[in-house]
A and B are shown apart, each in its own frame.
Chain A
Amino acid sequence: MELKKMTRNALLTAIALTIFMIEAQIPPLVPITGVKLGLANIVTVFALFAYSWRDALMILLVRIFLGSVFSGQLMTLLYSLSGGLLCFAVTVLLRRFFTEKQIWAASAVGAVFHNIGQIITAILVTSTPGMIVYLPVLLVSGIVTGLFTGLCAQFLYGKLKHLGQF
């Protein structure tokens, strides 16, 4: 890997990790398990559109792994991985259907699959199929937060492109 690319990815991972750790310190806005802003995904979505899926995957995996290590929660690893990877796989597959002005839409669609992955894991871990009734609630919050992080990534993309950063 080129030195420049590696440095850039390391920087993005560090930013994502910082956002992740700061967000973990914010008390939950809604007292529902599984609802969170997911601000760190701004970096993942941005990397996916600005660079390649390989760069984005690398940043995502390292961020999830280090985030779980730093926050000391192994269950977070399982959850973030299942949701994150399903979301990532779907977004990568749908990547070519999105223009660079539709990053927010990609993020919202990804969020939907993130929630589906989360629910599947929750059902498997607790062996409670009834958890599925909880999916609509998660989807509503997921779409709203997905749109928000997507818009952040959209603005970031626009600004950095304007500056000629990639």
Chain B
Amino acid sequence: MRSTKFWIILISGILAISLIAAAAVYFWHGTGTIACVYQDGVLIREIPLETVTAPYSFDVTWENGKKNTITVEPGRICISEAQCPDQVCVHTGWISDGITPIVCLPNHLSIRIESDLRQADGVVR
């Protein structure tokens, strides 16, 4: 048995650490402008969102022939159509910062917005 105080302190501790970590993630990753499309963890396409002038769409096909339609507009990106059962990726909507990725688990697809800094890192490596 532990006192109620112990649990309150433990839970608020985890909550505080998570909030700080979430804020840190926001500041580090929230400044990116390059949308990186990953299929099964492999980077398949990079779109510098700042240079997009006119909206356009393209399709990404997964092994089972299921397609995801990705739409790009100046400064933002979304999955506009998906051949997956849950449609979570479509409901995520537009993203324009690195805080939330768009993930389509059934089709092993994820889109993250990464910063130029990390991009430069990758080039050096």
Q: Is A92 an interface residue (CB 8 A)?
A: no
| Contact partner, A133, options B25, B42, B88, Cβ 8 Å | B25
Which residues of chain A have C-beta atoms less than 8 A from B22's C-beta?
136-137, 140
Which residues of chain B have C-beta atoms less than 8 A from A109's C-beta?
7, 10-11
Q: Is B19 an interface residue (CB 8 A)?
A: yes
Give Cα A24–Cα B91 distance, bound, in whole angstroms: 13
Secondary structure of the A contact surface, majority rule: helix
| Nearest opposing residue in chain B for A99, CB measure | B1
Which residues of chain A have C-beta atoms less than 8 A from B7's C-beta?
98, 102, 105, 108-109
Instruction: Find out whether the CB atom of A126 lies under 8 angstroms from the CB atom of B11.
Output: no
User: Which stretch of A11-19, A27-35, A43-51, A83-91 is in the interface?
Assistant: A27-35
Instruction: Find out whether the CB atom of B25 lies under 8 angstroms from the CB atom of A126.
Output: no
Instruction: Find out whether the CB atom of A143 lies under 8 angstroms from the CB atom of B101.
Output: no
Q: Is A125 an interface residue (CB 8 A)?
A: yes
- Kindly identify, within residues 12 to 32 of chain B, every residue whose CB is under 8 Å from any CB belonging to chain A: 14-15, 17-22, 25, 29
Which residues of chain A have C-beta atoms less than 8 A from B53's C-beta?
none
Fill in one digit per residue for B46-82: 1 if any A CB lies within 8 Å of its CB, else 0. 0000000000000000000000000000000000000
| Nearest opposing residue in chain B for A140, CB measure | B18
Which residues of chain B have C-beta atoms less than 8 A from A72's C-beta?
85
Which residues of chain A have C-beta atoms less than 8 A from B34's C-beta?
none
Given A73-B85, A126-B40, A137-B22, do A28 and B91 touch, yes or no (CB 8 Å)?
A: yes
Instruction: Find out whether the CB atom of B92 lies under 8 angstroms from the CB atom of A108.
Output: no
Instruction: Find out whether the CB atom of A140 lies under 8 angstroms from the CB atom of B101.
Output: no
Give Cα A127–Cα B110 distance, bound, in whole angstroms: 10
Output the least CB separation between A97 and chain B (Å): 5
| Nearest opposing residue in chain A for B114, CB measure | A130
- Kindly identify, within residues 80 to 125 of chain B, every residue whose CB is under 8 Å from any CB belonging to chain A: 85-86, 88-89, 91-93, 99-103, 105-106, 108, 110, 112
Q: Which residues of A contact B (CB under 8 A)?
A: 27-28, 31-33, 72-76, 79, 96-99, 101-102, 105, 108-109, 112, 122, 125-128, 130-131, 133-137, 139-140, 143, 147
* Inter-chain pairs besides A109-B7, A128-B38, 7 sampled, C-beta below 8 Å: A97-B1, A98-B2, A105-B4, A127-B40, A131-B101, A137-B18, A137-B99
Q: Which residues of B contact A (CB under 8 A)?
A: 1-2, 4, 7-8, 10-11, 14-15, 17-22, 25, 29, 38, 40-42, 85-86, 88-89, 91-93, 99-103, 105-106, 108, 110, 112
